[in-house]
Structure 1
Amino acid sequence: TTAGDGEEGLALFTSAPFDLVITDMVMPVKDGLDTILDLKKKAPGLPVIAMSGGGRIPKERYLEVAKYLGNTKTLPKPFSREEIVSLVREHLASGEFSEGIEV
């Protein structure tokens, strides 16, 4: 499932929760930080992969903040398909997902 921004993503999550969320940190309407905070209120143990290519501040700063929100992995842009698949597999291996997820 994909969303155009954090607000749309939260609405989708509320209607049908996901086992993992992959979010950008810089988005219109609701940024990644606010999106992750709202998701963690609804599902504290939800695994999140936060990605950023930067914006008003360097990407490293966005990703540092995301790490402190708990159960969040980070991925600086640009990244390869293999890198994101590897992070998803890490979460799968940790048993944080329900059954039936394919990578």
Structure 2
Amino acid sequence: MAKILVVDDDPVMQLTIQRVLEQHGHVVTVAGDGQKALARFNGESFDLVVLDIFMPGMDGLEAMRLILKRAPNVPIIMTSGRPQTPSAVAEPDYLTMATKLGAVSALPKPFKPATLLTMVSDCLASAGHQAAPPRPGQDAVPNS
């Protein structure tokens, strides 16, 4: 069991990730933006952070920078619903950028709960925490 902070401005995504993680024995705290995440992070300690990149106010990249400044060893999984495919308007690959800036892993939305659980388990194991094993065969988590 790990204590995980989930940060996403989409309440449906927050609840979905929270339920998936709690069903597998984790304790989950949610925040709707980077500022709220930092306030939660200052008041509590977390084993892992799942952080959306694109949020109003403080985005996930800035929140990650500030979280890592306070706790450099906390693993962070960045998520994004922005497409990673080339388009007419060239846009940076934000998930790759996030891993270069300190995220342990990057997870494009939509994703399957089993993929999230495997990533969480791997990140916790690499950080020296014990995680519950994922259950295969669950539906996809929505894109947002």
The TM tier, using the shorter chain, reads: 0.7 to 0.9
Match of 1:2 in 2: 30
Q: Which runs of 5+ in 2 are unaligned?
A: 1-28, 84-88, 134-144
Matched letter for residue 53 of structure 2: M
CA RMSD of superposed structures (Å): 2.3
In structure 1, which of residues 9, 28, 31 is the aligned counterpart of residue 59 of structure 2? Answer: 31
1:49 corresponds to 2:77: yes
**1:20-72 per-position Cα deviation (integer Å, ceiling 9, x unaligned):** 000100011110100100001001111000000128975x7110111012352
Counterpart-to-counterpart distance in 1, 2:40 and 2:101: 21
Runs of 4+ in 1 over 4 A off after TM superposition: 55-58
Distance 1:96 1:6, change over 3 A: farther
Match of 2:12 in 1: none
- Kept after mapping to 1: 8 A contact 2:47/2:124: no
TM-score w.r.t. length of structure 1: 0.85
Match of 1:73 in 2: 105
- Kept after mapping to 1: 8 A contact 2:38/2:63: yes
Task: Name the larger-Rg structure.
Answer: 2
1:14 corresponds to 2:42: yes
- Kept after mapping to 2: 8 A contact 1:45/1:71: no
The total of aligned residue pairs comes to 100
Q: Which runs of 5+ in 1 are unaligned?
A: none
User: In percent, how many aligned pairs have the same letter?
Assistant: 39
